[in-house]
Structure 1
């Protein structure tokens, strides 16, 4: 009797292999041949699941996006009752900064997603970018005395307070730039320096 194949499980295995390749070689390392070798498959077997390299990379980017959400969201949503509002918000925003090995991996995945979207702009806009903007919008709103939004769909909409939208954009831009400096110039921007700069900006947001 022929052995039954769990196709979803096999696709998941391929996704895990592709994520390992992204972390090691970047998005350009995600080729049909490369993923097959990483997963221990033949190239022909992999082509049974993906017709060409673009189809494979589209799937891999979705896997990377899901991986980021699965890893980051529980940390971001963890209750934080201790410390000032600025300190609690800083601890949330720091989950997006590559301050340790785990978060550097996540930054590498995010960079691969950004590169893919640069090559193939999504029709509805960047899901990852919108997720990040929604988080920054929530953080700024709380810093400026607004109630936090419970419904995820509402968090992606512009805030009625124009100052919240302005500061959310500034915080988003600041965090992206700070993350890049941490990765690219670690000798200049240490984790302590990043923490200090982030808290200085958040204090400015709360008092503006």
Structure 2
């Protein structure tokens, strides 16, 4: 009797092998031959799932985005014991910053997804970018005294407070810049520097409310 093939398991193996290739060689290393060798398959076996490199890279970009979301969400959602609203938001946003080996690896994978999306813009926009903007939107909304959205889909939509949208964009851009500097010029920006700058920006948000802050 022929052995049944678990196609989802096979595709998961391909995605895992491709991620290892990306971390060594970047997205350009994700070729049918390269991923097949990494997975221990023949090129012909891999072509059973992907006819060409474009199909493979498209799948890998989606699989990498899903892997990043699966890594990040549990860290973002974990309970936190913090002294203030600002410190809570800093501890959350730090999950996006390449402050250790795991997060530097995630940053490299995210850069590979961005590279793919730049050349092949998704119909509905970048899911990774949308997820990050939703997180920043929630942070700014909390600073301005709004109740957080419990519905994940609602957090993806523009907030009715225009100041939330403006400062979410500022925060998103700022965090991207911090991440790039932490990777590209680590001798000029330390993790402590990044936290200090992030705190300064959050405290500049108009309408900032922190019930845990000391009163004069």
In 1: Cα distance, 2:83 partner to 2:77 partner: 16
In 2: Cα distance, 1:56 partner to 1:64 partner: 12
Per the TM alignment, residue 31 of structure 1 is displaced from its structure 2 partner at its CA by: 0.4
Unaligned runs of 5+ in 1: none
After superposition, the CA RMSD in angstroms is: 1.0
Q: Which residue of 2 aligns with 1:68?
A: 68
Q: Which residue of 2 aligns with 1:149?
A: 149
- The yes-or-no answer on 1:197 pairing with 2:197 is yes
Per the TM alignment, residue 183 of structure 1 is displaced from its structure 2 partner at its CA by: 0.4
Q: Which residue of 1 aligns with 2:166?
A: 166
Tell me which stretches of 4 or more aligned residues in structure 1 moved more than 6 Å: none
Per-residue displacement from partner, 1:170-193 (whole Å, max 9, x unpaired)?
000000011000000010011111
Q: How does 1:135-146 map to 2 (within 5 A)?
A: 135-146=135-146
Q: Which residue of 2 aligns with 1:3?
A: 3
Per the TM alignment, residue 11 of structure 1 is displaced from its structure 2 partner at its CA by: 1.0
Per the TM alignment, residue 95 of structure 1 is displaced from its structure 2 partner at its CA by: 0.4
Distance 1:100 1:206, change over 3 A: farther
In 1: Cα distance, 2:150 partner to 2:80 partner: 16
Q: Which residue of 2 aligns with 1:101?
A: 101
Per-residue displacement from partner, 1:53-104 (whole Å, max 9, x unpaired)?
0100111011100101100011111122421000000000110000000001
In 1: Cα distance, 2:194 partner to 2:207 partner: 20
Per-residue displacement from partner, 1:28-71 (whole Å, max 9, x unpaired)?
11000100000011101100011110100111011100101100
TM-score by length of 1: 0.97
In 1: Cα distance, 2:61 partner to 2:174 partner: 25
Q: How does 1:1-208 map to 2 (within 5 A)?
A: 1-205=1-205
- 2:153 alignment partner, SS class: helix
In 2: Cα distance, 1:206 partner to 1:183 partner: 30
Which structure shows the bigger proportion of residues in helix conformation? 1
